[in-house]
Amino acid sequence: MNTLVAAAPQVPAIGVTPRLMRSATVEAPWVRRALIGAALLFLTLFLFVPLVTVFYEAFKKGWDVYLAAILEPDARSAIALTLLAAAISVPANLIFGVSAAWAIAKFDFRGKNVLLTMIDLPFSVSPVIAGLIYVLVFGLQGWFGSWFIDNDMKIIFAVPGIVLATIFVTFPFVARELIPLMQAQGQEQEEAARVLGANGWQMFWRVTLPNVKWALLYGVILCNARAMGEFGAVSVVSGHIRGHTNTMPLHIEIVYNEYQFAAAFAVASLLALLALVTLGLKFLVEQRVKDQKRAVGDRTE
Amino acid sequence: MILSRTLLKRHSVLPGFDLALGFALLYISLIVLIPLSAAFLKTFTMTWAAFWDAVSSPRVVASYRLTFGASFAAALLNAFFGLIVAWVLVRYDFPFKRLIDALVDLPFALPTAVAGIALTAIYAENGWIGQWLPFKVSFTPLGVFVALVFIGVPFVVRTVQPVLEDVNRELEEAAATLGASRWQTFAKVILPIVLPALLTGFALAFARALGEYGSVIFIAGNMPMISEITPLLIITKLEQYDYAGATAIAVVMLVTSFALLLLINSLQTWARKRQGGV
């Protein structure tokens, strides 16, 4: 933005009144209204109505049905498992994201682009296939399946499999937010910290981390939303054992297929609420991330 | 130590390269590379004939046709309306604009299963929208299309929006002073600038739709040969303990996604060059 404005030549406004210039680069009012109308209609049909429906259907049969649906034991254990899976996979991907970003953004090494591509890989893999590959590795007929069975450890159709599948699908979020920002920030501040006598961890905690905290939070928010909402990958490895290996999305599917629509939408409304909170936080943090990026841009200019 | 000596191109005073890269490589291998290679290695245990049978039986081919067709159509609709939404959000002012802008990301945040049951309810024959339509949507291939439109909404908007924000207004003024109508300015000045981003958004929405499962299975009806998507077929085969068959189809999907990933990467490079050149 800044460079564009700076590089723009000063146009002398002789002979052209500002009013005329404006009208030549602005659409007719009816075009404007039609475009806004088309955009809003599209978003309403495909986004807003579904969102409202979730809450409407959830409360259609009243508070009692709603509360009963989210407090029944199976629903409660599904909520607990969803929280557990997110509580493990988000920190794991956070640590990975920070270390990958540190290596990629601050050092120049061979194979960097290959690593970058590999980080993006899980986004282009269907969630169902993400589940399938863990079945192939850890399932009964899988590579390590028999070893784990012999040692009395269940991975597939058990909680560890669900956590692994969740880690896979949420893998890139934190790293992708951090890498571009840390690359733009460069190495000078860390080098200064080193010269002034900070050891590695002091430099990391006092210079690097404060510099990227908003982008980090942003990545964590997105990662968490996906971790709690993942359906396809988890569905393949879960085995759908009620009260044991059902996450919230899987619980919704089971209850829905039993035609308990109000109950399904009740649990769904919790996830929809999470989505709204996620969007709200995202909106707040986004501004900070943009400010931080702009600050980097100004410094380098 | 080995990592920094062999890989590092330039010596750095900053610490932690070995630890950071070592951990990242270990993690990526355990979580992504080894499991993914399992899919490919599994198909190597099949004979070519068995592999070909698994990936080209009529039921599977019908599922490809539906998955690719519906994904393409959904991405196309998203490209069209996504451009309009991005344009409206960048250029115009209207009530609740910030709120609407924030809600565009809803499909990223709303779990697919939730979206699936909500869309099914709305587009069912007695649903809020379904009752006004003269044709069936839920439990038909059209339902698959609707679900794929939903999950693809943010891709085009979010790739086109920043590019539109950066369009140099003086180019438009120049076009106008040279006598171009507003439509000509859009078609010949703005659209070429936005095109790489638009194509990238289209490809991203298409790629995402190909693998989508959660939002589709509720609304699709899942009838073999008619409304069964490829990811569902993989699950069906798994449930029948046909691991080899499931993996063979998965490999076809994986190869397609990787090809798309390459395409998207080169599109993005093109877009960056284009933007730099403007």
State pLDDT tens for residues A205-237: 999 999 999 999 999 999 999 999 999 999 999
Residue B167 per-residue DSSP state: S
CA distance B75 to B201: 9
Q: DSSP assignment, residue A109?
A: B
Residue of A nearest to B31 (CA): A168
Contact B38 A40 (CB under 8 A): no
- Give CA–CA dist A76/A71, Å, rounded: 6
The rounded distance, in Å, linking the Cα atoms of A207 and A200 is 10
Chain A, window 171-190: residues with a beta carbon less than 8 angstroms from a chain B beta carbon: 171, 187, 190
Nearest CA in chain A to B21: A103
d(CA B218, CA A112): 41
Evaluate whether A265 touches A212 at the Cβ level (below 8 Å): no
- Count the Cβ atoms, other than its own, within 10 Å of residue A101: 28
The answer to whether B44 touches B245, Cβ cutoff 8 Å, is: no
pLDDT in tens, A193-209: 988 988 889 999 999 99
The yes-or-no verdict on residue A25 having pLDDT over 60 is: yes
Structure confidence at residue A6 (pLDDT): 46
Chain A, residues 51-90, CB within 8 A of chain B, namely 51, 53-54, 57
Given a cut of 80, is residue A295 above it in pLDDT? no
* Three-class SS state of B272: helix
User: Looking only at Cα atoms, what is the longest distance across chain B?
Assistant: 69
Would the CB atoms of B118 and A191 count as touching at under 8 Å? no
Q: Above 80 in pLDDT, residue A292?
A: no
Mean pLDDT of chain A: 86
Contact B191, B248 (CB under 8 A): no
Tell me what the mean pLDDT of segment A255-261 comes to: 92
Q: Length of chain B, please? A: 278
Alpha helices in A205-260 (DSSP H): 209-229, 232-238, 248-257
Percent above pLDDT 70 for chain A: 90
| Residue B264: predicted pLDDT | 87
CA distance A152 to chain B (A): 21
pLDDT exceeds cutoff 60 at A10: no
- Distance (Å) from the C-alpha of residue B30 to the closest C-alpha of chain A? 10
Q: Which of residues 197-216 of B touch A (CB under 8 A)?
A: 207, 210-214
Complex ipTM over 0.95 = no
| Alpha-carbon span B24 to B5, nearest angstrom | 17
Rg, C-alpha atoms of chain A: 25
Residue A45 or B8, more confident: A45
Tell me which residues of chain A, numbers 261 to 290, contact chain B at a CB-CB cutoff of 8 Å: 261, 264-265, 268, 271-272, 274-276, 278-280, 282-283
Structure tokens at B246: 């499931």
Residue at token pair 């509580």: A87
**In the predicted structure, residue B164 carries a pLDDT above the cut 90:** yes
Cβ neighbours of B122 in A, within 8 Å = 49-50, 53
Predicted confidence at residue A268, as pLDDT, reads 96
Q: Which residue has the higher pLDDT, A59 or B1?
A: A59
Checking if the pLDDT of B30 tops 80, the result is yes
Using alpha carbons only, what angle is made at residue A204 by residues A202 and A208, rounded to the nearest 5 degrees?
130
Question: Mean pLDDT over residues B257-261, rounded?
Answer: 90
- In whole angstroms, how far apart are CA B206 and each of A95, B67, B148, B172, B272? 31, 10, 9, 31, 21
Taking an 8 Å cut-off on Cβ atoms, the answer to whether A164 and B16 are in contact is: no
* % chain A with pLDDT above 90: 60
Residue A91 contacts B where some CB pair is shorter than 8 Å: no
Write down the pLDDT at residue B38: 87
Query: Binning pLDDT at 50, 70 and 90, where does residue A298 land?
Result: low
pLDDT at B79 over 90: yes
**A191 contact B CB<8A:** yes
Residue A118, burial from CB neighbour count under 10 angstroms (0-12, 13-18, 19+): buried
Look over chain B and give the mean of its residue pLDDT values, rounded to a whole number: 90
Contacts 24+ apart (CB under 8 A), A108-113: A108/B8, A108/B9, A108/B10, A108/B12, A109/B7, A109/B8, A109/B9, A109/B17, A109/B21, A110/B6, A110/B7, A110/B9, A111/B7
**CB–CB of A105/B20 below 8 Å?**
no
Contact B168 A164 (CB under 8 A): no
Per-residue pLDDT, A299: 60
Number of neighbours of residue A29 by Cβ within 10 angstroms: 8
Do A130 and A165 contact (CB within 8 A), yes or no? Answer: yes
Q: How far apart are CA A25 and CA B278, in angstroms?
A: 19
Long-range contacts of A190-196 (CB under 8 A, 24+ apart): A190/A106, A190/B14, A191/B13, A191/B14, A194/B13, A194/B14, A194/B15, A195/B13
Residues contacting B19, CB < 8 A, separation 6+: A99
CB A2 within 8 A of CB A299: no
With H, G, I as helix, E, B as strand and everything else as coil, classify residue B8.
strand
Q: Is the pLDDT of residue A12 over 70?
A: no
Which pTM does this prediction carry? 0.89
Q: Could you give the maximum distance between any two Cα atoms of chain A, in Å?
A: 88
Instruction: Band the pLDDT of A245: cuts 50, 70, 90.
Output: confident
pLDDT of residue A23: 61
Assess whether pLDDT exceeds 70 at residue B232: yes
Quote the CA–CA distance of A66 and B118 in Å, as a whole number: 16
pLDDT of residue B71: 96
Q: Is the pLDDT of residue B65 over 90?
A: yes
Instruction: Report residue B221's pLDDT band, with 50, 70 and 90 as the boundaries.
Output: confident
- pLDDT over 50 (residue A301): no
Residues 129-148 of B with CB under 8 A from A: 129, 146
3-class secondary-structure state, position A287: helix
**Contacting residues for A121 by C-beta, under 8 A, at least 6 apart:** A172, B32, B36, B261
